[in-house]
Every structure is written in structure tokens, then in C-alpha cells.
């Protein structure tokens, strides 16, 4: 079974002293960033830091967020990602077409996590999700709001972002890929709002969130953990299924059939 990805923690590629700390922060995945966190003059050095780290930690697995496919740094980023087995997947920002995914695959052979963060990306969701090699989608809603002129922290923003979240979920499910990741919450001190967002997207069907600070990881994991009541219900459903061998029975006065049994299995599988 695929390991959960409730949290994917970014660490700047030009801060090599933070790589090991990020990997020790407890996140389900670490993304070493070559894009937004690294200024243009530091990108060559950042690639060197990542190469050195990957060569020295061959048993470690991490992800790399490359620069966008239309930038001057893209090809060198792909060369880096192809060269090291420690780099488990490419996180592709500003993803807007299946051809971009194809280029990543041809140049690296690695799985791809496209970040949908523009109007063009939203309109290409079905093609992105169905492209060969896509592991799951991620939502970059901060950039998306810039692209659409949406005012952050407004009722209008919530309406737009939830609409796009629904589209990302549907495209992912239809393509048969892993559940998507929601975007970063920029105020890493505001764990209450982060927790509320995590609970909402968890209930929608997202797998987890992108994180920008180690302090966010614990809050995200707590939000995605099944409650004691959910675990107890799931155990009883599966115990009754094992006892009866029936595909239809009752638990707590509620009818249980195949989809409910599968939900119980997923709850128990999410207990980490």
C-alpha cells in the first residue's frame, strides 16, 4: 500500500544546513525547492548543494521542486533529478499541459507531482491528471489567486478555491491517481487556521497539505488522523465482516455493504 502523504515539507535548496533538519521534522515527504525559495543568482549553487546531499545520502528519499518548464533553469534541474536515486519524484510548478509532464518524464524518468497554480493549469486539469507518470496533483492557490486577481482571505476567495479543489479531486479520481495535496498556509504561526483548512480538505478527499515550516507538520497530521470514534467504528465493522463473511450486515443500526467496508479499511490503514 502507498505510504500516506499527509504532509510535504518544503526546504529551500540554497540552505543545505536545513536539509537534514527538514527530513527529521516528521513530515511524510520533504521537497527541496529550487523555485520560489531560491533567487536566480543562487540557483546554480542550490543544484550543487542538492547534488552533494543526494550523493552523500543514497538511502534517503526526497522530492525536488524544479523551476517551471518555460524557464532557463529547467533543463539543468531535470539533469539533476535524473542523476540521483535519492530524488524520488519531481514537483513541477506552474504545470499547464501534458506536454510539460512528458518533458519531465523524458528527461528524468521520475514520477511527477504537477502543481496547479494558474488559470491555464485549472483548465488543463483532466489532461494533467491523466498524463503518464503523474503520481498526484498539488494545488498552488497563492499563485492562482495572483493569476485570477482574487483577494485573499475573502468570501470570494473561499468560493473560488473550493470550486477548484473540487475539480482537482474529480480529475484525480477520474484518472485513478493518488489523492491530491492542498496548498501551503503562509502564516506558519497560525496553526488554528491551518488545522481548520486541513480538516476541510481532509473531509473533501485530499491526501494532505504542502507545508512551509516544520511547526505545521504536527498540526496537519493531527487533522488527518482518524478520531477514536472512527477507529472504534472501523474495527467493529471489519470484525463483523470477518465474523460473518457477509457483504451486507448491520453495525450500530446502520446498513454496511462493500463501500462502507472499504471505508473502514481505509480508516484503519490511515492509522500511523
List the domain boundaries for the chain.
7-224, 228-269
Cell reading at 2? 502507498
pLDDT of residue 104: 98
- What does the pLDDT look like over 104-153, one tens digit per residue? 999 999 999 999 999 999 999 999 999 999 999 999 999 999 999 999 99
Distances in Å between the Cα of 221 and the Cα atoms of 6, 18, 36, 142, 247 are 6, 21, 25, 22, 32
For the chain, the average pLDDT equals 93
3-state SS track over the chain: CCCCCCEEEEEECCCHHHHHHHHCCCCCEEEEECCCCCCHHHHHHHHHHHHHHHHHCCCCCEEEECCCCCCCCHHHHHHHHHHCCCEEEEEECCCCCHHHHHHHHHHHCCCEEEEECCHHHHHCHHHHHHCCCECCCEECHHHHHHHHCCCCCCHHHHHHHHHHHHHHHHHHHHHCCCCCEECCCCCCCCHHHHHHHHHHHHHHCCCEEEECCCHHHHHHHHHHCCCHHHHHHHHHHHHHHHHHCCCCEEECCEEECHHHHHHHHHHHHCCC
pLDDT of residue 232: 76
CA distance 67 to 94: 9
- What does the pLDDT look like over 71-100, one tens digit per residue? 999 999 999 999 999 999 999 999 999 999
With vertex at residue 153, the alpha carbon angle to CA 149 and CA 155, rounded to the nearest 5 degrees, is: 85
Distance of CA 22 to the CA centre of its chain: 16
Reply yes or no on whether the pLDDT at 272 is more than 60. no
Q: At the fourth CATH level, which superfamily is domain 7-224? A: Phosphoenolpyruvate-binding domains (3.20.20.60)
- What does the pLDDT look like over 204-252, one tens digit per residue? 999 999 999 999 999 999 999 887 777 877 788 788 788 888 878 888 8
CA distance 6 to 145: 24
Cell reading at 192? 488554528
Distances in Å between the Cα of 58 and the Cα atoms of 54, 85, 178 are 6, 7, 26
pLDDT of residue 161: 97
- What does the pLDDT look like over 158-210, one tens digit per residue? 999 999 999 999 999 999 999 999 999 999 899 999 999 999 999 999 999 99
- Residue 39's contacts (CB-CB under 8 Å, 6 or more residues apart) are 14
pLDDT of residue 2: 67
pLDDT of residue 138: 98
Q: Would you tell me how many other CB atoms lie within 10 Å of the CB of residue 186?
A: 11
pLDDT of residue 237: 77
Amino acid at each position: 500500500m502507498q505510504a500516506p502523504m499527509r504532509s510535504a515539507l518544503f526546504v529551500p535548496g540554497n540552505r543545505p544546513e536545513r536539509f537534514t533538519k527538514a527530513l527529521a521534522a516528521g513530515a511524510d515527504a520533504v521537497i527541496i525547492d529550487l523555485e520560489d525559495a531560491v533567487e536566480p543568482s543562487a540557483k546554480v549553487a542550490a543544484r550543487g548543494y542538492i547534488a552533494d546531499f543526494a550523493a552523500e545520502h543514497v538511502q534517503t528519499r526526497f522530492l525536488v521542486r524544479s523551476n517551471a518548464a518555460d524557464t532557463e533553469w529547467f533543463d539543468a534541474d531535470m539533469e539533476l533529478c535524473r542523476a540521483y536515486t535519492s530524488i524520488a519524484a519531481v514537483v513541477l510548478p506552474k504545470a499547464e499541459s501534458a506536454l510539460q509532464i512528458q518533458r519531465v518524464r523524458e528527461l528524468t524518468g521520475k514520477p511527477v507531482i504537477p502543481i496547479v497554480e494558474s488559470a491555464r493549469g485549472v483548465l488543463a486539469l483532466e489532461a494533467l491528471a491523466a498524463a503518464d507518470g503523474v503520481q498526484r496533483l498539488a494545488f498552488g492557490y497563492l499563485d492562482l489567486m495572483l493569476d485570477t486577481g482574487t483577494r485573499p482571505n475573502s468570501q470570494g476567495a473561499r468560493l473560488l478555491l473550493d470550486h477548484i479543489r473540487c475539480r482537482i479531486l474529480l480529475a484525480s479520481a477520474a484518472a485513478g491517481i493518488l489523492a491530491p495535496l492542498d496548498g501551503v498556509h503562509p502564516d506558519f504561526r497560525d496553526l488554528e487556521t491551518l488545522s481548520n483548512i486541513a480538516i476541510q480538505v481532509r473531509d473533501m478527499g485530499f491526501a494532505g497539505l504542502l507545508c512551509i515550516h516544520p511547526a505545521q507538520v504536527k498540526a496537519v497530521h493531527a487533522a488527518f488522523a482518524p478520531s477514536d470514534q472512527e477507529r472504534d467504528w472501523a474495527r467493529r465493522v471489519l470484525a463483523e465482516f470477518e465474523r460473518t463473511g457477509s457483504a451486507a450486515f448491520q453495525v450500530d443500526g446502520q446498513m454496511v455493504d462493500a463501500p462502507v467496508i472499504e471505508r473502514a479499511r481505509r480508516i484503519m490503514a490511515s492509522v500511523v
